[in-house]
Structure 1
C-alpha cells in the first residue's frame, strides 16, 4: 500500500533540510552529526531517520534542491514577455533574491559538493551547466557576435562569479542588502557588456 504523505510531512522535511543546511554551512558536512541535526530540528534521532536515511541523504537533497529552485526561477522568467536586457536583469534580481533566503544551502552547494559521490555530483553539475547555458542564451540574444566568438559562456561565468560568492561578504545587517545589490550587479554587468569586443584572430603560427 502506498503511503500518502501529508503537507505536514513535507513541511517538516523542508524544515529538517533548512536546519541541516545551517549546520553544514557553520560546521562543515564532515563535522556535523545526525544527532546535531535532530537536536536542531527538535526531533528525536529515530524520527529524523523517518525522513532521511542518513547524513549523506541530507547533503544530496540540500544541493540538488537548491539548484532545482534556481532552475524553476529561470523557467519562470523565461515565460515572461521580456526583451533580452530586461530578462537578464530579472534573472539577476531573482537569483540574488533567492540567495538572500538560501545562503546556507548555497554555501553547502559551493563548499560541500565535493563530498558527493561521483554520480550524485555529476547530476548536480549537469543541472548547474544547464543554468549557465540558459543565461548564456540570453546574452547571445543581446550580442549575437559574442556567441559567434564563443564568449557568452565566459561572460556568464563572470556574472556568476559576482553573485555566487556574495554570501561571503554581504551581511544582512550591513548598509546594503541583497535587494539593493541586485540592480548594482545588473548595472555593472550590462554596463560592461557593450564594451566587450570579440578578440581579433592572431597571426597564424608558423609550422
Structure 2
C-alpha cells in the first residue's frame, strides 16, 4: 500500500518555496544551493529532497505559481464586466497588491526564468504573455485608437515598466505603501502629471470576494 503524505505536507512545501524565493531573489538562482535552502528552512538536505527533487523544481514552482496567480487576477477582473476605465484601474490596483505580497517571487520570475528548462520556460512565458494581453485588451477598450494603431501592447509594456520595478525601491514600512502607490500609478498612466497633481483618486470597484486571488 502506498504511503500517504504526512499532515502539513503542502504547508511545508509552501514554506520551502517562500525561503527559496527569498534566497533566489537575494543571491540569484545559480548562486543558491540546496544546502542553503535546507538551512534556511531548518531542514536536513535529505528532508528537503522529500519535498522537491532539485533546485530546478523549486524554480518552476515559484515562477509558475506567481504567474498563475497573475493570470487568475486578470481573468477575474475581466469577468466582472466593468466599464473600461474602472476595469483598468482595478487591474492596476490588484496587480500592485499582488506584487506587494510576492516581491521575492516576482524578482525570481523577472530575473531567473531564463534558467528554466525550455518546456517550462515556454509555458511560464506563455502565461506571462496572456497577462500582458489581458492588460492590453483593457487599454485598447479604453482607448480604441491605440488598438487600431497596434499600440495597445507597447503602451501596456510602458505601464508594466512602472509597476514591475516598484519592488526595487518600495520598502515595507516606508512613507508610501502599495495601496497608496496603486492609484498614483493609475492616475499617472491615465492622465499624466496633471492628473497626479490634482490628487483625484476614483474609488476602486470592489472585487468579487469569492474569486479573490490568494497571494503566497
Q: What's the TM-score bracket when you normalise by the shorter of the two chains?
A: 0.7 to 0.9
* Residue in 2 that maps onto 1:81: 81
* Residue in 2 that maps onto 1:126: 126
The structural deviation recorded for 1:79 is: 2.2
**Higher gyration radius (CA):** 1
**SS state at 1:15 partner:** helix
Q: Number of matched residues? A: 192
* Residue in 1 that maps onto 2:174: 174
* Residue in 2 that maps onto 1:35: 35
Poorly superposed stretches of 4+, deviation over 4 Å = 1-7
**2:7 and 2:83 mapped to 1: Cα distance?**
38
Structure ranking higher on relative contact order (CA contacts 8 Å, 6+ apart): 2
The structural deviation recorded for 1:43 is: 1.5
Map 1:28-177 onto structure 2 (within 5 A): 28-177=28-177
The structural deviation recorded for 1:185 is: 0.2
The structural deviation recorded for 1:80 is: 1.8
**2:39 and 2:125 mapped to 1: Cα distance?**
31
**1:96 and 1:30 mapped to 2: Cα distance?**
28
**Structure 2: where are the runs of 5+ without partners?**
193-216
TM-score normalised per structure 1:
0.88
The structural deviation recorded for 1:4 is: 5.4
**1:6 and 1:75 mapped to 2: Cα distance?**
34
* Residue in 1 that maps onto 2:19: 19
**2:171 and 2:108 mapped to 1: Cα distance?**
18
TM-score normalised per structure 2:
0.84
Deviation per CA, 1:37-92, whole angstroms, max 9, x where unpaired?
11111222111111110011111111111100111111221222311111111111
**1:172 and 1:16 mapped to 2: Cα distance?**
22
**SS state at 1:135 partner:** helix
Deviation per CA, 1:134-178, whole angstroms, max 9, x where unpaired?
111111111112111001001110111100111111111221011
**SS state at 1:69 partner:** helix
Q: Name the CA shift for 1:4/1:159 in 2 (closer, same or farther; >3 Å).
A: farther
Deviation per CA, 1:155-205, whole angstroms, max 9, x where unpaired?
11011110011111111122101111000000011114xxxxxxxxxxxxx
